[in-house]
Amino acid sequence: MRKLHHVAAVCAIGAIMLSGNVLAQAAAPKKEETGKDIAFNRSKGNCLACHAMPTQPDAESAGLYGPPLIAMSARYPDKAKLRAQIWDATKANPATSMIPYGKHGVLTEAEIDKVTDFVYGL
């Protein structure tokens, strides 16, 4: 009987430790997603599918279909025009193959703002 109580106590302690670990992970704040995170995320921005980013050494498997994302503040002195391009590139070029990220709800307004800030800084 005593051995049974010992096993039960060990199991209870293990369960408490495990639940504490799970609670700590759940309570840990998530890192806020950056514009770069979104741009590199294959299920969100996925900019690297079409664009090279020469200033980003971690931009692996960058595509060559779209123009390289470099000197963007010189190419788009008006940052709002860059944001509009990301939101719906078909307005400037109806034949574009770029996804209208905002118009089709692929990215939220906040995500588009973050991606715009990131791309503008390239």
Are 54 and 96 members of one domain? yes
The single-letter DSSP state of residue 73 is H
The band of 62, judged by pLDDT with boundaries at 50, 70 and 90, is confident
- Average pLDDT, integer, range 72-86: 97
Residue pair 55/70 in contact (Cβ under 8 Å)? The answer is yes
Query: Are the beta carbons of 50 and 65 closer than 8 angstroms?
Result: yes
Quote the pLDDT of residue 2: 55
At 5, is the secondary structure helix, strand, or coil? Answer: helix
pLDDT at 31: 86
3 state DSSP class of 107: coil
**Mean pLDDT within 5-29:** 53
Domain check: are 65 and 96 in the same one?
Answer: yes
pLDDT over 70, % of the chain: 77
Whether the predicted pLDDT of 17 surpasses 90: no
- 71 and 88 housed in the same domain: yes
If asked whether residues 45 and 102 sit together in one domain, one would say yes
In terms of residue numbers, what domain contains 95?
31-120
Amino acid at 55: T
CA–CA distance, 27 with 115 (Å, rounded to integer)? 27
Same domain, 66 and 101: yes
